[in-house]
Amino acid sequence: MSGTESKGFWLGVDVGQEQLEAAVSPEGVDPTAWRELRTRAFANTAEGLTDLVAYTDRQVGPNGTLRGICVESTGPLSRRLAEQLARLRPSWPAVSIINPKRSVDFGRSAGVRDKSDRIDAPILAVYGAIYKPAPKAPSSAGHLALRELYRVREQVLAKKQDLANLLRTQDHPVARRALQQAIQALQKQVAALKRAAGDIIENTPALRGDLALLTSIKGIKFIVAWALLGELGDLRRYSRGQIVSYAGIYPRRHDSGKTVHLAPRLVKGGCRRVRKALYNAARCLFRSKNNTLRRYLDRLLEGGKKPMHCITALMRKLLLIARSVLIQGVPYDPCYSQG
């Protein structure tokens, strides 16, 4: 490092509803350096954020440069922190919001054995200083609203299914009636969430156009399109490899030495909600004999692929077709799948 080059630092923040734990790490550190970093707690309020900014400036010093800010994805909390810091200190770099699994795996590799906010903040700071995760372009307000509604819908459906399973085991009429009424109430909530998502799309021209393009694809109906738009945001911003990786729709090989050669399995990483929605769509297409992707499926089956492998391949193809129609801005052409 030359004498005129400033030293770079990364800020790691563990975000809670009421409190922020922060730590600052210099670049070029060893992964185990998290043990030596001091943490500082701040209230998750406007005054607390002001104190956090002042603390970070003191840690970086007049001759240092804040290269990045690393936080775990915690839904609205992490997004709100990123927006507040951008307004409070526009000269700072944008916040990098990472998948919590990355920081957890990194912490384990660095010798972390416990789980606490005072450990998470230094781990995030060191992770940022070593890997320098790039900030992702923020989703629009419409995409974020769709994501929130879709995730609540998933939770409500899970509760509804739990009650339905419990109902099968009950004999007392009062217990059964109470469960039936609760299930009906949850079903009304599911319908209300779907209407709210439809209203957002209808009142947002860009989303309305994207929905029309996505639902032009055989197998992608409103719910699947809702999942794609809510969880992935604008599909145009991903490359082919990025969008497949983000959804976790690629096989993981298991080869070791000369004797261990297991069949590839779906990696099951990335966004499980997108994967679940695409799985339901692909399974329906697999059972259907009258769809534009039938020849593609038949070639896979004739090549010796098992049904589950075919469904996984179809999930990937649906996702890439969805990205393609949005980039091209034209409805899906069935002839595309006939070659």
* β pairing state of 40-43 and 7-15: unpaired
pTM: 0.80
pLDDT in tens, the chain (339 residues): 444 567 999 999 999 999 999 999 999 999 999 999 999 999 999 999 999 999 999 999 999 999 999 999 888 899 899 999 999 999 999 999 998 888 988 998 988 877 666 789 999 999 999 999 999 877 889 999 999 999 999 999 999 999 999 999 999 999 999 999 999 999 999 999 999 999 999 999 999 999 999 999 988 999 999 999 999 999 999 999 989 988 888 655 544 455 444 455 555 656 889 999 999 999 998 888 777 788 888 888 888 888 888 888 999 999 999 999 999 999 998 775 544
Cβ(72)–Cβ(100) under 8 Å? yes
pLDDT of residue 116: 65
215 shares its domain with 196: no
212 shares its domain with 330: yes
196 shares its domain with 211: no
pLDDT of residue 268: 60
pLDDT of residue 328: 95
262 shares its domain with 332: yes
| Closest-CA residue to 26 (of 11, 39, 4) | 11
pLDDT of residue 54: 96
The strand pairing partners of 72, in sequence order, are: 98
Tell me if 2 is assigned to some domain: no
Q: Which two tokens stand for residue 162?
A: 């739990």
Cβ(221)–Cβ(293) under 8 Å? no
Task: Give the integer Cα–Cα distance in Å for 59 and 40.
Answer: 11
> Which of 203, 229, 245 is a domain's end point?
203
| Closest-CA residue to 323 (of 239, 199, 216) | 239
Domain of residue 172 covers 140-203
* β pairing state of 95-98 and 64-72: parallel
At 138 the three-state DSSP class reads coil
Tell me if 1 is assigned to some domain: no
Angle at 271 between CA 23 and CA 222, to 5 degrees: 135
160 shares its domain with 61: no
pLDDT of residue 304: 87
> Which of 152, 184, 203 is a domain's end point?
203
pLDDT of residue 289: 79
| Closest-CA residue to 213 (of 293, 322, 291) | 322
Tell me if 185 is assigned to some domain: yes
Tell me if 38 is assigned to some domain: yes
223 shares its domain with 266: yes
Number of domains in the chain: 3
End-to-end Cα separation, the chain, in angstroms: 56
